[in-house]
Structure 1
């Protein structure tokens, strides 16, 4: 049986570059996640871990993108040493 995931799209656009170069690059891609990301955004924001909504959204999105890649690639040697620390971090985060 195929695992069902939520499907999302990210559209990223350069707005300004610190070196003054022309901001013109864009990136758009679709991805899947086993969690409802908008529910995660709400949970992180409601826990008041960070001072503002923007930081909470950046944190939640980055964490969920990263951890989903880790879960999908469980056996990849790149994550071998990091996996236990991420597991503990997620337990700590969920306890807030």
Structure 2
């Protein structure tokens, strides 16, 4: 963990399966992020881009978690073509 970053823990629970599949075990992940995720959630809820506060929260968490992994691995060949588009996307999002 980077002491200069914010630290978070997320717990994911599988609470229903429409296909009567076994529910998966609970997963907890501890991670750090250079941004305050709660500020990002608030900002995206205020923008109300999806007319749904729940989706705004999902989007904020997913985007910031993915973005941090992307930044830490920007030289990975997997992200070679995607990274420039992600930068443009983030500029557009922050501009709205």
Report the TM range for the smaller structure's normalisation.
over 0.9
Structure 1: unaligned runs, 5 residues or longer: none
- Tell me how far 1:19 sits from its aligned partner: 1.0
- Tell me how far 1:23 sits from its aligned partner: 1.8
Q: TM-score, normalised by structure 2?
A: 0.93
Alignment pair present for 1:11 and 2:11: yes
Q: TM-score, normalised by structure 1?
A: 0.93
- Tell me how far 1:22 sits from its aligned partner: 2.9
- Tell me how far 1:72 sits from its aligned partner: 0.7
Structure 2: unaligned runs, 5 residues or longer: none
Which stretches of structure 1, 4 residues or more, deviate above 2 A after TM superposition? Answer: none
Change (3 A) 1:47 1:24: same
